[in-house]
């Protein structure tokens, strides 16, 4: 059982990112009860049993405001052409934990700030969020993978079809929506399954919205301690998909965490093949970055 603890965080650091966003905010919530917590989720590697609800929202927002005041004019880059972007859900799922903090206050700050935009990835469709119109100042990134492995790796999350069908709805409601192909897992017939996923996206997304939708693509990373815990807890089906030491190697993340990734030369080939398939079916979907 995950324990919820409400407190005031003292960790008020803004971290540079450059991939999902320009920067990562201090955690409004640290921890997650999402369906991927018992498989690959990197947040669980350091915080498995607790979800910290950080009550000092105003202090966190003030930290972001001060940080923005130190920045020069935004130079267009892959994160955004106009606004400095901040990931507000790096250590939680905002949609899932909507009721646990005052996200409307956070959204309002970014909606009204002339130089900033918020972003977060999610595996959940939360229609409560449709009651707020962010005026394209909140970027929601729907995480996507083939449904066949989503059922194993992220059970009890919104179905992939529900996420796809929500894309038009959330754009129409004022959200900016991107696609988060993460994690990309290689397994027998993985490219056949991704072809099905890409075709579903192409068929369901309104043509007028397609030019607005970009993507980020992140291949699987895992962790030895996480693998051992998952095995002890009986999660063998998921580990059979993501624990492949014969094709994985050690890596150290930019923040110092230890992980396993696909071996460099193998991953390079995976990326080449996946990109070719993506481009053949979704040529309108501009990829912001892939690694």
Can you tell me the mean pLDDT for 229-237? 96
| pLDDT, position 257 | 73
For residue range 152-164, what is the model confidence (pLDDT) as tens digits? 999 999 999 999 9
| pLDDT, position 237 | 97
For residue range 111-132, what is the model confidence (pLDDT) as tens digits? 999 999 999 999 999 999 999 9
Q: Distance between CA atoms of 85 and 22, rounded to whole angstroms?
A: 5
By mean pLDDT, which of 44-48, 128-132, 230-234, 265-269 is the weakest? 44-48
| pLDDT, position 256 | 60
* pTM of the entire predicted model: 0.96
CATH architecture entry for 3-290: Alpha-Beta Horseshoe (3.80)
Q: How confident is the model at residue 1 (pLDDT cuts 50, 70, 90)?
A: confident
At residue 255, does pLDDT exceed 70?
Answer: no
Q: How confident is the model at residue 254 (pLDDT cuts 50, 70, 90)?
A: low
Which residues, in sequence order, are CB contacts of 131 under 8 Å at separation 6+?
none
Spans of all domains in the chain? 3-290
| pLDDT, position 14 | 98
Higher confidence at residue 255 or residue 40?
A: 40
DSSP secondary structure string, 224-251?
A: HHHHHHHHHTT-HHHHHHH--TTTEEEE
Can you tell me the mean pLDDT for 64-68? 98
Can you tell me the mean pLDDT for 177-186? 98
Q: How confident is the model at residue 87 (pLDDT cuts 50, 70, 90)?
A: very high
Comparing C-alpha atoms, which of 98, 99, 149, 143 is closest to residue 122? 143
Can you tell me the mean pLDDT for 76-83? 98
Looking at every residue in the chain, the average pLDDT score rounds to 96
| pLDDT, position 267 | 98
Higher confidence at residue 252 or residue 196?
A: 196
Find the largest Cα–Cα distance for the chain: 51
Counting residues of the chain whose pLDDT is more than 70, the rounded percentage is: 99
């Amino acid at each position: 059982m995950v324990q919820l603890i409400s407190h005031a965080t003292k960790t008020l650091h803004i971290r540079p990112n450059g991939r999902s966003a320009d920067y990562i905010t201090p955690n409004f919530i640290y921890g997650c009860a999402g369906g991927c917590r018992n498989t690959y989720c990197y947040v669980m590697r350091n915080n498995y049993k607790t979800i910290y609800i950080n009550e000092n929202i105003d202090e966190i927002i003030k930290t972001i405001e001060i940080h923005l005041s130190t920045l020069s004019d935004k130079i267009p880059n892959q994160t955004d052409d106009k606004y400095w972007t901040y990931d507000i859900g790096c250590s939680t799922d905002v949609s899932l934990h909507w009721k646990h903090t005052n996200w409307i206050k956070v959204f309002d700050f970014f909606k009204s700030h002339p130089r900033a935009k918020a972003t977060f990835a999610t595996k959940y469709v939360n229609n409560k969020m449709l009651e707020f119109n962010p005026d394209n100042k909140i970027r929601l990134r729907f995480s996507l993978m083939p449904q066949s492995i989503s059922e194993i790796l992220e059970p009890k999350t919104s179905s992939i079809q529900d996420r796809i069908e929500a894309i038009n709805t959330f754009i129409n409601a004022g959200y900016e929506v991107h696609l988060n192909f993460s994690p990309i897992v290689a397994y027998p017939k993985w490219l056949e399954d991704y072809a099905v996923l890409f075709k579903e996206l192409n068929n369901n997304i309104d043509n007028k919205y397609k030019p607005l939708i970009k993507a980020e693509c992140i291949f699987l990373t895992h962790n030895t301690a996480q693998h051992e815990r998952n095995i002890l807890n009986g999660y063998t089906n998921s580990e059979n998909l993501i624990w492949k030491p014969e094709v994985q190697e050690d890596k150290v993340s930019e923040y110092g965490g230890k992980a396993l990734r696909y071996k460099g030369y193998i991953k390079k080939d995976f990326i080449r093949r996946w990109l070719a398939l993506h481009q053949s079916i979704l040529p309108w979907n501009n990829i912001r970055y892939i690694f």
